[in-house]
Amino acid sequence: MTGRDVAHKRRFLVLHDYGMGGSWWWVRARSAREVLEGLAWVEVVTDPETVARFEAEELEEADIDASRMPAGLDELRAERDAQRGRAGFGALADRGVVYLRRRWDEEDEEPVDYLMEVGSDGRRLRQVEVPEGGTALRSGPDDWPFNPPVVDLFDPALVDQEISQDAFEGQWARARPADPGQ
């Protein structure tokens, strides 16, 4: 890496939010987009108050072009590297809102389809839970104790899960609130 490469890079505050906590790093890159394209399941935090709070923290720092990454980031980069080049990589990444249908089909539980309205950060905005043969339930952020990112919009597998806004809104209108007080 030349000195010229470093001069064009800035330091970005990066978070891997896993719900009940998160891992934080400083990552040097040419743009926030470069960070998101290079590391799966992260967000670039731009809130000035949060960035200022972490300025004094002793966070691990990495360069996006480094051959080795700190623990945690190495796995996120390996996951992104495996996705890159597959059809659909990043196809949903530049959308403000995405609508998805994801199947939950665990061995010990009744199969359920989750219809989700997801923001550009991968967090749910609204959700409809549609069980087979049951009553659909709708919920929003006030119903969830945590709302970490549930999808990484660069993931090429999400392309096959996309549904239309009309399909989501139709189910939302028919579903009953998860909290009967709403």
- How far apart are the C-alpha atoms of 26 and 61, rounded to whole Å? 5
Residues with Cβ < 8 Å from 37, sequence gap 6 or more? 80, 84, 90, 154
Report the 10 Å Cβ neighbour count for 59.
17
Model pLDDT for residues 45-88, shown as the tens digit of each residue: 999 999 999 998 889 999 999 999 999 999 999 999 999 999 99
- How far apart are the C-alpha atoms of 22 and 14, rounded to whole Å? 10
Query: What stretches in the chain show pLDDT beneath 70?
Result: 1-7, 180-182
Q: Look up residue 62 and give its amino acid.
A: A
Query: CA-CA distances (angstroms) from residue 77 to 29, 36, 57, 66?
Result: 14, 10, 23, 11
- How far apart are the C-alpha atoms of 16 and 43, rounded to whole Å? 7
Going from N- to C-terminal start, the domains of the chain cover 3-83, 97-177
Yes or no: say if 15 and 53 are a contact pair by the CB < 8 Å rule. Answer: no
Q: Look up residue 7 and give its amino acid.
A: A
Predicted local distance difference test score (pLDDT) of residue 119? 97
